[in-house]
Amino acid sequence: MPSQPSVVVLDYGFGNVRSAVRALERVGAQVELTADHDAAMEADGLVVPGVGAFAACMAGLRAVRGDQVVDRRLAGGRPVLGICVGMQVMFAEGVEHGERTAGLGEWPGVVDRLEAPVVPHMGWATVQPPEGSTLFAGLEDERFYFVHSYAARDLPLDVQQDSPLRPPLVTWAEHGERFVAAVENGPLAATQFHPEKSGDAGAQLLRHWVDTLR
């Protein structure tokens, strides 16, 4: 029987952490909920959850040195999964009520308020994953559960044709306008929706991610 990959869900005060822990355990991970720097560095996978305001989440992350952990893990090719605002903070900055807050800067681009008749965007929605997606393999026609008022409109990461780097795989969704629903970019993956609240489809997506840690 394959060993259980170790996953740390980063506990920095902003996230629906208990449901994420349970969902990851159900798909075969050995999960620890902690803000401990060494544990977060050493786990096979790190999950960065997030709910609420971009600026508050960034302050919480920095308070537990989560920004350093994410940066160092990715520099070493070690997997990180961001969920909801945990995805948004991977971008260069967030704009809320006219205030700009620096994000982790793993991707260029800005997270700001959705322009839609009804905000927040709350409920089930289909997504458009790209060809070659690992997370969405077999889930191309499934729906996922979103709760958010802010999103990234694009991921302006330009990879030259002769570069050994693969461009990020971007999954899209729509609510009033098109926005980034998920990204797969080497060791860094993230979803704007909540896989832990997305039933069987969300569980399968988390299983795909956990399987990459084995």
User: Tokens 């990715």 correspond to what residue?
Assistant: 74
- 211 pLDDT higher than 70: yes
- Which residue of the set 57, 84, 106, 175 is catalytic? 84
129 DSSP 8-state letter:
P
In sequence order, what are the residues at sequence separation of 6 or more whose Cβ sits closer than 8 angstroms to the Cβ of residue 197? Answer: 16, 19, 145
In sequence order, what are the residues at sequence separation of 6 or more whose Cβ sits closer than 8 angstroms to the Cβ of residue 102? Answer: 58, 92, 93
- Which residue of the set 106, 142, 184, 196 is catalytic? 196
Helix count and strand count (H, E) for the chain: 6, 13
Residue 176: Cβ within 10 Å count: 13
Q: What is the mean pLDDT of the chain?
A: 95
In sequence order, what are the residues at sequence separation of 6 or more whose Cβ sits closer than 8 angstroms to the Cβ of residue 56? Answer: 14
Share of the chain above pLDDT 90, in %: 92
The pLDDT assigned to 156 comes to 84
The stretch 166-174 carries a mean pLDDT of: 95
How confident is residue 160, by pLDDT bands cut at 50, 70 and 90?
A: low
pLDDT per residue over 2-33, tens digit each?
689 999 999 999 877 999 999 999 999 999 99
Domain boundaries defined on the chain: 6-212
Which CATH number applies to 6-212?
A: 3.40.50.880
How confident is residue 82, by pLDDT bands cut at 50, 70 and 90?
A: very high
Q: Does the active-site annotation cover 175?
A: no
- 204 pLDDT higher than 60: yes
Q: Does the active-site annotation cover 57?
A: no
- 193 pLDDT higher than 60: yes
- Which residue of the set 121, 148, 175, 194 is catalytic? 194
The pLDDT assigned to 162 comes to 60
pTM over 0.85: yes
Q: Does the active-site annotation cover 148?
A: no
